[in-house]
A and B are shown apart, each in its own frame.
Chain A
Amino acid sequence: MNWRASARVADYGVHKFAASRVDWHTIREDFPILREQAHGHPLIYFDSAATSQKPRAVIDALRNFYEHNNANVHRGLHTLSSRATEAYEQARQRVAEYIGAASAQEIIFTRGTTESVNLVAQTWGEKFVRKGDVILLTVMEHHSNLVPWQLLAERTGARLRFVPVLDDGTLDLDQLPSLLTPEVKLFAFTHISNSLGTINPVAELCAKARAVGALTLVDAAQSVGHMPLDVQELGCDFLAFSGHKMCGPTGIGALYGRAEILDSMPPWHGGGEMIVSVTVENSTFKKAPHRFEAGTPNIAGAIGLAAAIDYIESIGRSAILEHDSELARYAAERLTALPGTRIFGPRAERGALVGFVMDAAHPHDLTTFADQYGLAMRGGHHCNQPLMRRFGVSGTTRASFYFYNMMEEIDRMMEILHAAVRFFS
Chain B
Amino acid sequence: MSPEIEELYQEVILDHSRRPRNFGELPDAAVLVHGDNPACGDEIHLAVKFDPAGGLEDIKFTGHGCAISQASASLMTMKLKGKSRVEVTEMLRAFHDLVTKETSESPKTLGDLRVMQGVRKFPQRVKCAMLAWRAVQQAFEQGSGETTVSTEPA
Q: Do A and B come from one complex?
A: yes
Interface residues of A (CB under 8 A from B): 39-40, 361-365, 368-369, 372, 380-381, 388, 394-395, 423-424
Report B's interface with A, CB cutoff 8 A: 1-2, 4-5, 8-9, 14, 39-43, 64-68, 122, 124-125, 128
A363's nearest neighbour on chain B, judged by CB, is B66
In Å, the complex CA distance between A424 and B10 comes to 11
User: Shortest beta-carbon distance, B127 to chain A, in Å?
Assistant: 10
Residues of B contacting A381 in the complex (Cβ-Cβ under 8 angstroms): 41
Task: Add 6 more A-B contacts to A364-B40, A369-B9, A394-B65 (CB < 8 A).
Answer: A361-B67, A362-B66, A368-B122, A369-B5, A372-B5, A394-B64
- Asked whether A372 lies within 8 Å of B40 as measured between CB atoms, the reply is no
One of B5, B39, B65, B122 near A362 (C-beta < 8 A):
B65
Task: Tell me the complex Cα distance, A361–B68, Å.
Answer: 11
Cβ contact within 8 Å between B66 and A365: yes
Contact in complex: A364, B5 (CB < 8 Å): no
A396 closest partner in B (C-beta) = B41
Closest 6 CB pairs of A and B: A394-B41, A362-B66, A364-B66, A372-B2, A372-B5, A395-B41
For residue A360, give the distance in angstroms from its CB to the closest CB of chain B.
Answer: 10
Q: Which residues of A contact B125 (CB under 8 A)?
A: 364, 368
Out of A39, A369, A388, A424, which one reaches B41, CB within 8 Å?
A388
List of B residues within 8 angstroms of A39 by Cβ: 2, 4
Q: Inside 8 A of B9's CB, which chain A residues have their CB?
A: 365, 369, 423-424
> Which of B1, B41, B67, B68 lies at the interface centre, i.e. has the most chain A CB atoms within 10 A of its CB?
B41
The count of A-to-B residue pairs whose CB atoms sit within 8 angstroms is 46
Contacts of A368 in B (CB 8 A): 5, 8, 122, 124-125
A-B contact list, 5 entries, CB within 8 Å = A361-B67, A365-B9, A372-B4, A394-B65, A424-B14
A376 to chain B, nearest CB (A): 13
Task: Flag if B2 contacts A364 (CB, 8 Å).
Answer: no
Q: How far is the CB of A375 from chain B (nearest CB, A)?
A: 12
A372 to B66, CA, bound (A): 17
Contacts of A362 in B (CB 8 A): 65-67
Which of B1, B67, B122 has the largest count of A CB atoms less than 10 A from its CB?
Answer: B67
Chain B residues, Cβ within 8 Å of A363: 66
Residues on the B chain within 8 Å of A424, using CB = 9, 14, 67
Residues in B neighbouring A372, C-beta threshold 8 A: 2, 4-5
Contacts of B65 in A (CB 8 A): 362, 364, 394
Q: A368-B122, A372-B5 are in contact. Are A394 and B43 (CB under 8 A)?
A: yes
Q: Which residues on A sit within 8 Å (CB–CB) of B66?
A: 362-365
Residues of B within 8 A of A365 (CB): 9, 66-68
Chain B residues with CB below 8 A from A388, complex form: 41
A395 to B43, CA, bound (A): 12
Provide the bound-state CA to CA distance between A363 and B37, in Å: 14
A349 to chain B, nearest CB (A): 29
Residues from chain B with Cβ under 8 Å of A423 in the complex: 1, 9
Inter-subunit contact B40/A395 (CB<8 Å): yes
On chain A, the residues within 8 Å of B128 by CB distance are: 364
Interchain CB contact under 8 A, B41 and A380: yes
Shortest Cβ distance from A381 into B: residue: B41
Contacts of A380 in B (CB 8 A): 39-41
Distance between B28 CB and nearest chain A CB, rounded to angstroms: 29
Q: Which residues from B are CB-within-8-Å of A394?
A: 40-43, 64-65
How distant is the Cα of A395 from the Cα of B37 in the complex, in angstroms? 12
Instruction: Using CB atoms, name the residue of chain A closest to B122.
Output: A368
A397 to chain B, nearest CB (A): 12
* Nearest CB of A to B122, in Å: 6
CB distance from B6 to the nearest CB of A (A): 9
- B128 CB to nearest chain A CB (Å): 7
User: Distance (Å) between the CB of A273 and the closest chain B CB?
Assistant: 36
From B43, which residue of chain A is reached at the shortest CB distance?
Answer: A394
A40 to B68, CA, bound (A): 24
Determine the distance from Cα of A361 to Cα of B71 in the docked complex, in whole angstroms. 13
Most B CB atoms within 10 A — which of A365, A372, A394?
A365
In the assembled complex, the Cα of A381 lies from the Cα of B14 at a distance in Å of 23
> B144: shortest Cβ distance to chain A, in Å?
29
Shortest Cβ distance from residue A359 to the other chain B in the assembled complex, whole angstroms: 11
Q: Tell me the complex Cα distance, A388–B64, Å.
A: 15
Q: Report how far A369 CA is from B40 CA in the complex, Å.
A: 16
Most buried by A among B5, B39, B122: B5
Whole-angstrom CA separation of A365 from B67 in the bound complex: 7
Instruction: Output the nearest chain B residue to A379 by Cβ-Cβ distance.
Output: B40
Whole-angstrom distance from the CB of A149 to the nearest CB of chain B? 21
**How far is the CB of A91 from the nearest CB of chain B, in Å?**
35
CB neighbours (8 Å) of A364 from chain B are 40, 65-66, 68, 125, 128
Q: How far is the CA of A312 from the CA of B2 in the complex (A)?
A: 37
Question: Min CB distance, A117 to chain B, in Å?
Answer: 22
Give min CB distance, A373 to chain B, whole Å.
8
> Which residue on chain A has the smallest CB distance to residue B65?
A362
A74: min CB distance to chain B, Å: 41
Cα-based distance from A423 to B67 in the complex (angstroms):
12
